[in-house]
Amino acid sequence: MKKIAIIGAGISGLSTAHAIERLAGEAGLNVEVTVFEREERTGGKIWSIKEEGYLCEWGPNGFLDSKPMTLELCDRLGIPDRLERSNDNARKRFIYSGGILNRLPENGPMFLQSKLISWPGKIRLAQEFFKPKRTDGVDETLADFARRRLGAEALDKLIGPMVSGIFAGNPETMSLQSCFPRIHQLEQEYGGLLQAMMKLAKQKKAEIKAGKQVASAAGPGGVLTSFVGGIQELTDATVQGLKGTVKTGHAVTGLKATDGGWELRLADGSSFDAEVVVSAAPSHVLKELTWSLDGALSGLLNDIPYAPMNVICFGYEQSKIERDLDGFGYLIPKKEGCEILGTLWDSSIFPGRAPEGHVLLRSMMGGATTPEAIDLSDAEVKERTMAELKKIMGINAEPDFVRIFRHKRAIPQYVVGHAKRLAAIEEKLKDHTGLILTGNAFSGIGLNDCVNAANKVGEEVVSFCMKRLS
């Protein structure tokens, strides 16, 4: 019996535990998996909070169905019937600029008609076709890439809001290669983004004609997907599907290498022995665990920054909202000088997010560009959010429902040099056999990324254990 310890019961830790048990079973390997979680609940950043008829997501609200890994996990857990795709109107997304909400164009004609980008800005975007690709291998910031290929206006009104919406990040510091490796790949392979889109569209047309399907040239695409009772159904089902043990309220405080593997030291003074340890804890937590083990490794983990975030849920009677909420919501360019990063119209994205006759809006405040917002009082957060909703959406009413969630370390930031940092971490781990790291601090922040990484770690753990048996 191989004893496997996993630190952290968020989606990364739980899906890793599930993958290890599944793959070990397929290989005929007996394993005993124990998951340690310092909080009294599982799920990590995933937490669906139901109050007064509203369903608020504390963290992420779903995943894209364009990649198979999370859907496959749902199938294995027996919960595909609980899946809930976002409403079709969720395709309509907006950018607040020039005092109005501008719908993001989805095709060429819409782009030409849109007032979001000025005509000089559109001409500059079209010139991307003639820009040479960068070949020096420099880890470029998203801002530098956007200015070089698309122009300053596209950076301000398109790339900047996208980065804040996905990463709560600052494009002036985020790494193109680490945040959007596909975009970097398209430039290197095709010479530019417009050239890539044209060639891939032509290829897609030919393959569809031949009865095949290919991914969209524009990006990952897909439909935002959650569950009837919120995204927490995924982590709850994963816990229920495990054969091993999940110990909540058990904080791991240290790691020590032993002859047979590892000793985990727990906050209550006890210890736990395991042959393999997989840490799915945030990098800032793992930094503390590895300090006495390897100062250099701890320092590398400490160099991965996190952006803070306030999530503000407002519920209203629908009659109090004069604006049509037919869409996903909106993001706000930094230059607009607003207090929030954007607002999602949650009750328009998925059904059942608000009581009958009511709506639920979820605003984000803070991020890497305004980290000081995390220190505002609840009263200040509410007041500033209400002021922005009044200015942008014309909402004059007091919300009937208010919930404010704070994340001092919400989302890891893949800043320039992230890839080299990961390579250095991997090199250091060679000195610590049987210690494996996973989680959204490393190679993707989305649910699909975390589940995909879990599958890879599962393969690594089972392979490691099988070699020790041979």
Domain boundaries, the chain: 2-44+230-304+415-469, 51-58+62-89+305-412, 117-209
Band the pLDDT of 29: cuts 50, 70, 90: very high
In the CATH hierarchy, which fold is given to the domain comprising 117-209? protoporphyrinogen ix oxidase, domain 3 (1.10.3110)
**Res. 172: pLDDT tops 80:** yes
Class of domain 51-58+62-89+305-412: alpha beta
**Res. 201: pLDDT tops 70:** yes
Band the pLDDT of 36: cuts 50, 70, 90: very high
**Res. 106: pLDDT tops 90:** no
Average pLDDT (333-345) is: 96
- Which pLDDT belongs to residue 217? 38
- Which pLDDT belongs to residue 137? 87
Nearest alpha-carbon partner for 357 in 315, 403, 313, 327: 315
Cβ distance 101 to 133 under 8 Å?
Answer: no
Q: How far apart are CA 188 and CA 368, in angstroms?
A: 29
Band the pLDDT of 98: cuts 50, 70, 90: very high
Cβ distance 386 to 396 under 8 Å?
Answer: no
**What is the DSSP annotation of 398-435?**
PPSEEEEEEEEEEEE--BTTHHHHHHHHHHHHTTSTTE
**Res. 421: pLDDT tops 60:** yes
Using one digit for the tens of pLDDT, what is the confidence trace for 46-85?
A: 999 999 999 999 999 999 998 999 999 999 999 999 999 9
Average pLDDT (454-464) is: 97
- Helix, strand, coil percentages, rounded to 5, for the chain: 40, 25, 35
Amino acid (1-letter code) at residue 285? V
Amino acid (1-letter code) at residue 96? Y
Band the pLDDT of 186: cuts 50, 70, 90: very high
Average pLDDT (389-416) is: 97
**Res. 323: pLDDT tops 80:** yes
Between 154 and 202, the higher pLDDT residue:
154
Q: Count Cα atoms within 13 angstroms, Cβ side, for 52.
A: 13
- Which pLDDT belongs to residue 213? 42
Report strand pairing: 63-64 vs 276-279: unpaired
- Which pLDDT belongs to residue 88? 83
Cβ distance 437 to 429 under 8 Å?
Answer: yes
- Which pLDDT belongs to residue 205? 77
Give the pair of three-digit tokens for residue 194: 């417009």
- Crossing angle of helices 11-27 and 232-241, in 10° steps, is 40
Give the pair of three-digit tokens for residue 277: 């340890």
- Which pLDDT belongs to residue 210? 67
**Res. 331: pLDDT tops 50:** yes
**Res. 211: pLDDT tops 90:** no
Mean pLDDT estimate for the chain:
94
- Which pLDDT belongs to residue 91? 86
**Res. 280: pLDDT tops 80:** yes
**Res. 464: pLDDT tops 70:** yes
* Cα angle 273-277-280, degrees, rounded to a multiple of 5: 135
Average pLDDT (321-332) is: 95
**Helices (H), ranges, 191-290:** 193-209, 232-241, 283-290
* Cα angle 329-330-336, degrees, rounded to a multiple of 5: 160
- Which pLDDT belongs to residue 215? 43
Instruction: Give the right CATH number for 2-44+230-304+415-469 from 3.30.1130.10, 3.40.50.720, 3.50.50.60, 3.20.20.140.
Output: 3.50.50.60
**Res. 468: pLDDT tops 90:** no
* Dihedral sign (CA 391, 394, 400, 402): negative
Could you tell me the maximum CA-CA distance found in the chain, to the nearest angstrom? 70
Write the secondary structure of 336-384 as one string of H (helix), E (strand) and C (coil).
Answer: HCCCCCEEECHHHHCCCCCCCCEEEEEEEEECCCCHHHHHCCHHHHHHH
- Which pLDDT belongs to residue 200? 85
Average pLDDT (398-406) is: 97
Average pLDDT (379-402) is: 97
Coil, strand or helix at 40: coil
Identify the top-confidence range among 109-113, 180-184, 308-312. 308-312
Nearest alpha-carbon partner for 160 in 145, 139, 181: 145
* Cα angle 90-208-65, degrees, rounded to a multiple of 5: 35
> How much of the chain, in percent, has pLDDT values that exceed 70?
97
Q: What pTM was computed for the model?
A: 0.93
Give the pair of three-digit tokens for residue 273: 């022995």
- Which pLDDT belongs to residue 107? 84
**Res. 171: pLDDT tops 60:** yes
- Which pLDDT belongs to residue 206? 74
Average pLDDT (327-353) is: 96
**Res. 218: pLDDT tops 50:** no
Domains 2-44+230-304+415-469 and 117-209 share a fold: no
> How much of the chain, in percent, has pLDDT values that exceed 90?
90
**What is the DSSP annotation of 142-204?**
HHHHHHHHT-HHHIIIIIHHHHHHHHS--TTTBBHHHH-HHHHHHHHHHSSHHHHHHHHHHHH
* Cα angle 447-352-91, degrees, rounded to a multiple of 5: 55
